Structure 1
């Protein structure tokens, strides 16, 4: 697949402020966030439970605990980067993303929790772009605007 020179990841690997909820999941329970990513990347071919259990069995819990003591290098002593890198590669291939600034394995080896969060942000961005929805907040709309929006969506579907 040819990559555009201008296309990059939508966020930097350390850009955790863009999605604080995924950053919290990535820090405290990355197995759940990773499993959700894998389920989306594989279009449901790999179940959430299977991905989560493999992450745990390969040292996910131990790596998370070690990360609180040693920082991101806590995953250096687990097999998680080997397992996670293959799904990062599939995501990149699926969405035409460059392998930068490091290889998929190196990215997960050096900072697995951040890599999982970046992948999650990328998946969410792609899904939000493919699902039509209201342009603005629906909470601030009056009833007339909401009805107009629903009618416009129904016309597009026809």
Structure 2
């Protein structure tokens, strides 16, 4: 009657390109337009970008919807003054997991001074490491378990 749930699986180093490798950020903080779709999404609805990133960083223990809703709630109740305090913790966790440097400055400063740029950079970093944040953790975990490098499904148009 109820669908089976997929167990939460942590990524294994080597299954995703760059997973576990120590290196610099794959793109700069202000390279937002390198991914114009994500840049627009982050500009109009940063809670969605944050939610997608948080689901991957949390390894699926928190859904995109839950993280995005909490982000939007904090943003609304604090008149956008406190979201950086919540979001910078995910940057720190992501840096630690992927051995990234705290650059160009401390996580809280990056999120306090340029939250949209930070969210875009984190999203791009996950993509550069082989994740597809838009598809959620479960898809990425299944892909890692299968050991297959798959890309996001292509958009299909109308045709005969």
Rounded Cα–Cα distance in structure 2 between residues aligned with 1:62 and 1:81: 11
Q: Give runs of aligned pairs for residues 101-116 of structure 1, distance below 5 A.
A: 101-116=104-119
**Count of aligned pairs between the two proteins:** 117
Contact 1:19 1:121 in 2 (8 A): yes
Contact 1:26 1:116 in 2 (8 A): yes
Q: Which has the larger radius of gyration?
A: 1
Q: 2:125 aligns to what? A: 122
TM-score scaled to structure 2, two decimals? 0.66
What value does the CA root-mean-square deviation take over the aligned residues? Answer: 2.3
SS in 2 for 1:59: helix
Q: For residues 49 and 104 of structure 1, do their structure 2 counterparts lie closer, same or farther at Cα, with a shift above 3 Å needed?
A: same
Q: Does 1:21 align with 2:37?
A: yes
Contact 1:31 1:52 in 2 (8 A): yes
Gap runs ≥5 in structure 1 = 64-74, 135-158
- Considering Cα pairs closer than 8 Å and 6+ residues apart, tell me whether 1 or 2 has the greater RCO: 2
Gap runs ≥5 in structure 2 = 1-20, 133-143, 152-160
TM-score scaled to structure 1, two decimals? 0.67
Rounded Cα–Cα distance in structure 2 between residues aligned with 1:51 and 1:32: 9
Q: Does 1:80 align with 2:97?
A: no
Rounded Cα–Cα distance in structure 2 between residues aligned with 1:121 and 1:101: 16
Name whichever structure is richer in helix by fraction.
Answer: 1
Once the two structures are superposed, residues 18-51 of structure 1 have per-residue CA deviations (whole angstroms, 9 ceiling, x without a partner) of 1100100111100001000000111101111211
